[in-house]
A and B are shown apart, each in its own frame.
Chain A
């Protein structure tokens, strides 16, 4: 029934495509020189998945080292490098490219546009991001050589001064870190500009802002948000390099500079950054939950208001990372209250997702499983966040594994889960083939179990006083059993991700043919073929509500009647 109306009449050029006789070199050339938003989106995605595997491997090394007491699996120097590179990789080379992967591939299709607003800037941003990442990893070669893990950064991913200054970090390890992140940062700025220009200036006829699918709304807010989030980091890294190379004194306490200033500058970037990374998860959840609950999203305007609210509030909460440095009580109180304020818009989102599911006809396909797990894990992560926002509690648990458990609940339990959900959801659109549901379920359950084994137990070892960053620990602290469980959970997650990678590759070649609209969804990207042609839509679509495909499939009861 749906197939009779889809794709939109006249939306596709039905003349047969030219014979595809591309040599490998031609194919490679077409990818390297492309300015097509879909190819760039896929390249961002492949970059993220590649670095996810790399960063994941680093995490596995860390967990092997910590699995048993008095372990010497890696050297202490290598251990420092591993957790620095793990954090830096996951935030800047996995999380950030994912933002642009989703925004690039989905947003132009959802708003009925031909491409992003600035296709060449788009390609430029991608290559900056990729080469920034490769530059960071180049640090492994050099210094004492690959065996001694080269001159990879070892200053943690927030690189507190004065450890990063020339006197304490000689050599080039810190420079690789700062320069690589400045380069990827420029890529991020370009990407952010592109998203907001696309959404404001490229929407198809009839798509007012309040008829934009919520996914595009969230990515739009994220694109604008990233412009004021990543730039303080760029600025403070320029200051760091001035200190290191021109003899500046920004963070040099011996000349009146202040290490605390670095902390403030870093977390003015660092905390909103978490929201930049989690917004795509919100965006994907808003699509997946409504499509698999067979119900229109509950409270669309409230969801839009909430996402803007989160963005606004989150730029005033950064110093909750710094309660232990001894701020004034007024400062403490302000950051406690502002942090807890984030709970309100976030709560609105969670309740709206639940209300969307309420009374819906839920299909438990793999994307929905990940989305449901996301809802509960995101809630738990929010609750431990509220706990940590209370200054006295924070004084007790700062720098312990409780904090690690808390933020991994967001980064893995919310973001990575929704990224998997989104890949299962949009893979048919991008490739024309379905991913295997059987392997998908295996992936989900193994990852789910591994996740909870690792990160639930990590809270408890945090309560028991295990500090972060320690290389190893003695056997008599009572930490060893939990640490073993944590490490086993990590391995299970690793296996699950390998299943996912296998599923991705095998489905690409042998997956079931998907058709244009396998999930019976409601947004414009499902109105074109799978995979979409280079031009997306042969005629510009015209929409009258925020579920244009619902209107098309149900002409007797279209959404626009109730606008």
Chain B
């Protein structure tokens, strides 16, 4: 048996494992994706099944400005990730603040849209099946934007007080991962609600 001269890998070899925060965030993203999947499936299944109006065709406008803002916030947060990796903290703070501003514009836009739907078109979550699925899917996404904005703002406050340093780069990127996810989900929600469902 011991005649087989096998070279075992030396334990002195470099041992490098992925950053646990990143893995944890991927896990959360997988779980969240499953939740969104169920709501998206419900939305798609119930398209056109409302027994009475108003219908999406009558009341929904495509939120183009909103979408552009949210999707470009992925670019700004990417720029701030790159800045902190290069230890360029001022640029980091600037792009980070821009991300928050763009996210906030998105939320305000959603608020204006919902205000119009509720008070002008009379569509609430209990009006019809469309209202139920629309508010819960878009609302679920908006909730994630709110959570993301709260966390981004906390990091911004720490940046302004000078607590965010180059060594936090990896943690900041984990948070950015969540923000990218929120943006990516919007692509799906946008497609389903405003293009397929309208």
Q: Report A's interface with B, CB cutoff 8 A.
A: 117-118, 121, 189, 192-194, 196-198, 200-203, 205-206, 224, 227-228, 230-232, 234-236, 238-239, 242-243, 246-250, 255-258, 261, 265, 268, 542, 544, 556-557, 560-563
Contacts and interface: CB of A to CB of B under 8 A. Distances in A.
Interface of B: 1-2, 4, 6, 8-9, 11, 15, 17-21, 23-24, 27-28, 30-32, 34-35, 37-39, 42, 45-46, 49-51, 125-126, 128-129, 132-133, 136, 140
A321 to B, nearest CB: 17
Contact of A544 (B9, B21, B38, B128): B9
A202 B46 CA distance: 44
B27 A250 contact: no
A238 B27 contact: no
Majority secondary structure, A binding face? helix
B132 A561 contact: no
Contacts of B46: 250, 256-258
B50 A227 contact: no
B136 A239 contact: yes
Given A201-B23, A203-B17, A249-B126, A235 B38 contact: yes
A202 B16 CA distance: 10
Contact of B23 (A197, A239, A257, A265): A197
A224 B6 contact: no
A202 B21 CA distance: 11
Contact of A257 (B1, B8, B35, B129): B129
Given A256-B46, A256-B129, A192 B1 contact: no
A341 to B, nearest CB: 22
A543 to B, nearest CB: 8
Contacts of A203: 17
Contacts of A228: 30-31, 34
Nearest to A199: B23
A203 B23 CA distance: 14
B30 to A, nearest CB: 5
Contacts of A232: 34-35, 37-38
B31 A193 contact: yes
A562 B128 contact: no
Given A247-B126, A255-B51, A255-B129, A201 B19 contact: yes
Given A248-B136, A261-B42, A196 B27 contact: yes
A201 B35 contact: no
A234 to B, nearest CB: 6
A247 B70 CA distance: 30
Given A189-B28, A247-B125, A563-B8, 9 more contacts: A117-B24, A194-B24, A198-B20, A206-B15, A239-B136, A242-B125, A248-B136, A257-B46, A562-B6
Nearest to B30: A227
Given A202-B17, A227-B34, A193 B8 contact: no
Most buried by A among B23, B27, B49, B136: B27
B20 A202 contact: yes
Contacts of A200: 17-18, 20, 23
Closest 8 CB pairs of A and B: A247-B126, A193-B27, A201-B20, A235-B38, A231-B34, A248-B132, A227-B31, A117-B20
Contacts of A194: 24
A193 B28 contact: yes
A231 B20 contact: no
Contacts of A557: 1-2
25 contacts: A189-B31, A192-B31, A193-B24, A196-B23, A197-B23, A201-B17, A202-B20, A205-B15, A224-B27, A224-B30, A228-B30, A232-B35, A235-B38, A242-B132, A248-B132, A249-B128, A249-B129, A250-B42, A256-B50, A256-B129, A257-B129, A265-B38, A542-B11, A561-B4, A563-B6
Contacts of A542: 11
A561 B15 contact: no
A232 B41 CA distance: 11
Nearest to A204: B15
A123 to B, nearest CB: 15
A240 B2 CA distance: 65
A246 B45 CA distance: 20
B26 to A, nearest CB: 8
A248 B51 contact: no
A189 to B, nearest CB: 5
Given A196-B27, A206-B15, A236 B20 contact: no
Given A117-B24, A561-B6, A250 B11 contact: no
Contacts of B20: 117-118, 197-198, 200-202
Contacts of B45: 258, 261
Contacts of A544: 8-9, 11
B125 A206 contact: no
A248 B11 contact: no
Given A193-B31, A250-B42, A256-B49, A118 B24 contact: yes
A203 B21 CA distance: 15
A239 B136 CA distance: 8
A255 to B, nearest CB: 6
B152 to A, nearest CB: 20
A265 to B, nearest CB: 6
A246 B17 CA distance: 47
Contacts of B2: 556-557, 561
Contacts of B32: 231
Most chain B CB within a 10 A radius of its CB, from A193, A205, A232, A236: A193
A248 B133 CA distance: 8
Contacts of A268: 38
Contacts of A261: 42, 45
B104 to A, nearest CB: 25
Contact of A231 (B21, B38, B133): B38
B129 A235 contact: no
Contacts of B49: 256-258
B39 A235 contact: yes
Contacts of A231: 31-32, 34-35, 38
Residue with the highest number of chain A CB atoms closer than 10 Å, among B125, B129, B132: B132
Contact of B27 (A192, A202, A230): A192
Given A201-B23, A231-B35, A561-B6, A206 B11 contact: yes
Contact of B24 (A197, A248, A258, A563): A197
A242 B28 CA distance: 24
A301 B45 CA distance: 41
Nearest to A238: B136
Nearest to A227: B31
Contact of A197 (B27, B38, B129, B136): B27
Nearest to B17: A201
Contacts of A250: 42, 46, 129, 132-133, 136
B126 A246 contact: yes
Nearest to B21: A197
Nearest to A235: B38
A264 B24 CA distance: 29
